[in-house]
């Protein structure tokens, strides 16, 4: 027996297609059934790489008794949070308001018109962890729906009102001046909350905070703030040495279940690896430490090898589980290592902290305990173990392609291509951008959110536009092919036309199917918020386009949220990067010269030397017509390649020497 989810493309929904639960995907059919039969909705939201989603599925959604109750008394809807971030945000806000926490699997009970009235996350099959059994919850909700419905409906309306107020938190804010002290206060708060022993912020579980790390790198760049750089390097060292980093295959797991970065939650997410690859790349540029370059390259190599569709898109996630066990693919015993490495085993075991007792259910998650020199010396041994691991049963992989997450990874590959001088990274980035614009953009210039096996669907969200614009800007600055700039600007105009409100942007377009609220996410979470990325992209696009409208919109939005940035820097890391860019008087550099000529390349190399987070660069030959406005009406001086530098709406005298250009930061 299969249910309606068998017709879906999402791997997460397909995982539940043979449940005895009569699942529906979110849509008119399910909502109409709930109204017609006067039944509450049970909404379950999760994603394919979620370990506890798998646990609840096995314990409850495959259970005949639980399915019988659901099928008789509820209309059950299953949603992939990665496909529908709008639904996830709305109903996560409800669960957080009801319980004070959130997570996945998310379990929410709704009225037939979609208003939430009760919810939680994981419910066990029998009472434990201080939680009732899932079937007890179902029966209690059924009783309340039948006998105390008015109370539920009123509570649902009040909860919806709260969510609506949160969604419209910005309102019609008046323009406010941007304040440098906001950056100082945010920097101080990050310092006060920092874990000086292990790096990072918070205790167990400990999450990577790539946006906060990027902000601290900018603090160091702007003022030589050595303690800020120390926080960055201590955290990056600890993460890359610990079990959260895949010591054999490259790439980062989702988070550490302990405060020491030792034992990861084993799923690998595209968005984590996109952001962390860039942090390590920037740290290498800022410090010259080759270890950071190595981690950036290994992370991108992992994505190219294991997370890239032949058509050019990047896959979403790799699962935490294999053969039904969390982390089994990544764990080692000393005996297994000896069997593969022979005489080299002892050196490897010592360097990577392997013991008979183990650090993970009697086995070992590899950690780099020895000096970095040993890491380099054991490269061949790591490769042997990697090849042996490849013969194991691999974790599942979610092969849907999300425009928003692809935009983040596009930016990482594009920037790495020029910083590392790697043609393969540039080719990967160009293939990805071509794929996204070909397969996930309509003839009218609108975006889809997701693609799977040749088919795109779901109207694009703000994050899709904002992240892709940013990725295309990075790709233009790597290749200087005007088509990437043109696509970025077209998408920016579409984003403004369909998502803009009086202050900021809605997460959904003006023609998106109506929900109980129209969300406007401000806070950065594991991924940058669509609003923060929109501001970031508009600030950079303003320099290339010479269009003050983009800058005005970005400054208006930054002014409205800047107090939040100072108080809650971990929740507004991308916003802080945007604010630091806006306040830094970024350089707008136009290089006019013959393509490939030595003097043109010398000027370009000067622009790319070291860590330069506050600039945009355009390169092109002298021409009457230029697609990129920053290049227009610029000519070579005395037949030499010439750089035109503008700062704070004022242009400086043209430069023909690379040394003078390199001195500008």
pLDDT in tens, 585-610: 899 999 999 988 999 999 999 999 99
- In the prediction, which pLDDT does 377 show? 95
In-domain check, residue 568: yes
pLDDT at 332 over 90: yes
Question: Which of 14-18, 165-169, 360-364 is the least confident region?
Answer: 165-169
Backbone angles phi, psi at 496, to 5 degrees: -65, -40
**CA gap 590, 601 in Å, rounded:** 13
Instruction: Tell me the β-bridge partners of 592.
Output: 620, 642
530, two tokens:
């669509």
- In the prediction, which pLDDT does 168 show? 66
**Is residue 278 within 8 Å of 293, Cβ to Cβ?**
no
- In the prediction, which pLDDT does 650 show? 87
Do 287 and 388 fall into the same domain? no
Do 136 and 230 fall into the same domain? no
- In the prediction, which pLDDT does 172 show? 65
Do 74 and 220 fall into the same domain? no
- In the prediction, which pLDDT does 595 show? 84
In-domain check, residue 52: yes
Tell me whether the omega of the peptide bond preceding residue 105 falls within 30 degrees of 0, making it cis: yes
Reduced DSSP (H G I as helix, E B as strand, rest coil) percent helix, strand, coil of the chain, to 5 = 50, 15, 35
Domain that holds residue 81: 4-167
56, two tokens:
């609840």
Using pLDDT thresholds of 50, 70 and 90, give the confidence band for residue 665: low
Do 616 and 526 fall into the same domain? no
Tell me whether residue 662 is exposed, middle or buried, using C-beta atoms within 10 angstroms of its C-beta: 0 to 12, 13 to 18, 19 or more.
middle
Tell me whether the omega of the peptide bond preceding residue 205 falls within 30 degrees of 0, making it cis: yes
- In the prediction, which pLDDT does 575 show? 98
Q: Which of 241, 245, 242, 247 is nearest to 262 (CA)?
A: 242
Do 146 and 229 fall into the same domain? no
Task: Give the residue from 137, 167, 197 where a domain finishes.
Answer: 167
In-domain check, residue 10: yes
pLDDT at 165 over 90: no
In-domain check, residue 555: yes
Do 559 and 640 fall into the same domain? no
The pLDDT of 310-315, averaged and rounded, is: 98
Q: pTM for the complete prediction?
A: 0.95
pLDDT 10s digits, 86-145: 999 999 999 999 998 899 999 999 999 999 999 999 999 999 878 899 999 999 999 999
Tell me the three state secondary structure of residue 657.
coil
Tell me the three state secondary structure of residue 324.
coil
- In the prediction, which pLDDT does 164 show? 85
In-domain check, residue 173: no
Do 87 and 208 fall into the same domain? no
Do 343 and 482 fall into the same domain? no
Do 333 and 301 fall into the same domain? no
554, two tokens:
């970005």
Using pLDDT thresholds of 50, 70 and 90, give the confidence band for residue 657: confident
**CA gap 641, 595 in Å, rounded:** 10
- In the prediction, which pLDDT does 458 show? 96
Task: Give the residue from 119, 135, 167 where a domain finishes.
Answer: 167
The pLDDT of 203-228, averaged and rounded, is: 97
Do 506 and 424 fall into the same domain? yes
Please calculate the CA angle 59-61-62 and round it to the nearest 5 degrees.
75
- In the prediction, which pLDDT does 171 show? 65
- In the prediction, which pLDDT does 169 show? 65
Instruction: Report CA dihedral (226, 229, 233, 234) to the nearest 10 degrees.
Output: 70
In-domain check, residue 210: yes
How many domains, in total, are found in the chain? 4
- In the prediction, which pLDDT does 293 show? 98
Do 361 and 488 fall into the same domain? no
Q: Which residues of 46-58 are buried (b: 16+ CB within 10 A; e: fewer)?
A: bbbbbbbbbbbbe
Do 103 and 124 fall into the same domain? yes
In-domain check, residue 175: no
Q: Which residues of 517-528 are buried (b: 16+ CB within 10 A; e: fewer)?
A: bbbbbbbbeebb
Task: Give the residue from 583, 603, 622 where a domain finishes.
Answer: 583
- Percent of the chain residues topping a pLDDT of 90: 91
In-domain check, residue 174: no
pLDDT at 620 over 80: yes
Chain CA centroid to CA 394, Å: 23
- Domain holding 311: CATH number? 1.50.10.10
- Domain holding 97: CATH number? 3.40.30.10
Place of tokens 């030499």: 640
């Amino acid at each position: 027996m299969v249910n309606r989810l068998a017709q879906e493309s999402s791997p997460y929904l397909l995982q539940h297609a043979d449940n005895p639960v009569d699942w529906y995907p979110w849509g008119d059919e399910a909502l109409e059934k709930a109204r017609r039969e006067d039944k509450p909705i049970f909404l379950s939201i999760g994603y394919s790489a979620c370990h506890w989603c798998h646990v609840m599925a096995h314990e409850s959604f495959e259970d005949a008794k639980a399915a019988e109750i659901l099928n008789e008394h509820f209309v059950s809807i299953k949603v992939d949070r990665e496909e529908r971030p709008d639904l996830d945000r709305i109903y996560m806000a409800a669960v957080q308001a009801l319980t004070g926490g959130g997570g996945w699997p998310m379990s929410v009970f709704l009225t037939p018109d979609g208003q939430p009235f009760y919810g939680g996350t994981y419910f066990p099959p029998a009472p434990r962890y201080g939680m009732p059994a899932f079937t007890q919850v179902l029966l209690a909700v059924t009783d309340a729906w039948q006998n105390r419905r008015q109370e539920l409906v009123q509570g649902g309306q009040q909860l919806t009102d709260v969510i609506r107020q949160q969604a419209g938190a910005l309102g019609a804010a008046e323009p406010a001046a941007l304040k440098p002290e906001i950056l100082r206060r945010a920097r101080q708060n990050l310092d006060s909350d920092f874990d000086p022993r292990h790096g990072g912020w918070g205790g167990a579980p400990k999450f990577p905070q790539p946006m906060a790390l990027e902000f601290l790198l900018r603090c160091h760049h702007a003022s030589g703030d050595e303690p800020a750089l120390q926080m960055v390097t201590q955290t990056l060292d600890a993460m890359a040495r610990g079990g959260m980093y895949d010591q054999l295959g490259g790439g980062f797991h989702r988070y550490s279940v302990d405060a020491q970065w030792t034992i990861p939650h084993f799923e690998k997410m595209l968005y984590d690896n996109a952001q962390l690859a860039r942090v390590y790349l920037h740290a290498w540029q800022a410090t010259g430490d080759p270890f950071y370059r190595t981690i950036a390259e290994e992370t991108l190599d992992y994505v190219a090898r294991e997370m890239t569709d032949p058509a050019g898109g990047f896959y979403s996630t790799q699962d935490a589980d294999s053969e039904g066990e969390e982390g089994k693919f990544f764990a080692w015993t000393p005996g297994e290592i000896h069997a593969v490495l022979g005489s080299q085993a002892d050196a490897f075991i010592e360097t990577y902290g392997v013991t008979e007792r183990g650090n993970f259910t009697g086995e070992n998650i590899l950690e780099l305990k020895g000096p970095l020199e040993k890491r380099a010396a054991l490269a061949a041994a790591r490769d042997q173990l990697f090849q042996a691991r490849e013969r194991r049963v691999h974790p599942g992989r979610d092969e849907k392609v999300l425009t928003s997450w692809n935009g983040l990874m596009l930016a990482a590959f594009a920037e790495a291509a020029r910083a590392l001088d790697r043609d393969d990274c540039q080719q990967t980035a160009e293939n990805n951008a071509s794929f996204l614009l070909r397969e996930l953009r309509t003839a009218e210039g609108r975006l889809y959110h997701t693609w799977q096996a040749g088919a795109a669907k779901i109207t694009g969200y703000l994050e899709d536009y904002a992240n892709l614009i940013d990725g295309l800007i990075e790709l233009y600055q790597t290749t200087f092919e005007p088509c990437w700039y043109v696509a970025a600007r077209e998408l920016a105009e579409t984003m403004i036309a369909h998502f803009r409100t009086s202050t900021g942007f809605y997460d959904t377009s003006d023609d998106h199917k109506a929900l109980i609220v129209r969300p406007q996410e401000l806070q950065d979470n594991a991924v940058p918020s669509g609003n923060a990325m929109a501001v970031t992209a508009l600030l950079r696009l303003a320099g290339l386009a010479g269009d003050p409208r983009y800058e005005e919109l970005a400054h208006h939005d930054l002014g409205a949220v800047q107090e939040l940035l100072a108080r809650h820097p971990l929740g507004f890391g991308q916003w802080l990067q945007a604010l630091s860019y806006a306040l830094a008087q970024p350089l707008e550099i136009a290089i006019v010269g013959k393509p490939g000529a030595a003097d043109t390349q010398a000027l370009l190399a000067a622009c790319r030397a070291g860590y330069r987070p506050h600039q945009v660069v355009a390169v092109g030959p002298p021409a009457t017509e230029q697609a990129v406005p920053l290049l227009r009406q610029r000519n070579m001086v005395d037949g030499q390649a010439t750089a035109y530098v503008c700062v704070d709406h004022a242009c400086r005298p043209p430069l023909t020497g690379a040394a003078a250009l390199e001195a500008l930061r």
